[in-house]
Amino acid sequence: SKQGSMKIFIDVFTEEEIASDAYPIKVINDVAYEIETKLVVEGDDDFGISNNEEEGESASGGGAPKEPVNNLVNAHKLEVTSFSKKDFMTYIKGYLAKLKKTSR
């Protein structure tokens, strides 16, 4: 592989970007990838810029508190889902059947 090139993982059905090799990746049973991610507070950077208050005014901060986000989900603009175990099993069985047909 070329030095400096990044591997992007694309969903074979939607052609959407789902991950990159910028994250630590482990191959599980030669079938799936386990990708190490982190919760980060997006936009919570402090660049040392004051709030520009007049003397005597209190510093109010800079807007609403930020929610932590998963760095992979945020970077690749993925949507967070919440499946019950039953719903996930239904979804993944359909997805894997579709994948099996495609790989032939």
pLDDT one-digit tens code per residue, 2-44: 577 999 999 999 999 999 999 999 999 998 899 999 999 987 5
Of the candidates 72, 62, 89, 86, which has an alpha carbon nearest to the alpha carbon of residue 19? 72
Per-residue exposure over 44-56, b if at least 16 CB sit within 10 Å of its own CB, e if not: eeeeeeeeeeeee
Could you tell me if 36 and 19 are in contact, meaning their C-beta atoms sit under 8 angstroms apart? no
- CA geometry: angle at 80 spanning 77 and 81, to 5°? 145
CA proximity to 44, closest of 24, 66, 64: 66
What pLDDT is attached to residue 16?
94
- Residue 97 confidence (pLDDT): 94
| Global pTM value | 0.64
Give yes or no for a contact between 11 and 99, defined as CB atoms under 8 angstroms apart: no
Q: pLDDT at position 48, please?
A: 58
d(Cα 33, Cα 25) in Å, to the nearest integer? 6
Phi, then psi, of 14 in degrees rounded to 5: -95, -15
The per-residue pLDDT for range 61-91, each reduced to its tens digit, is 556 678 899 999 999 999 988 999 999 999 9
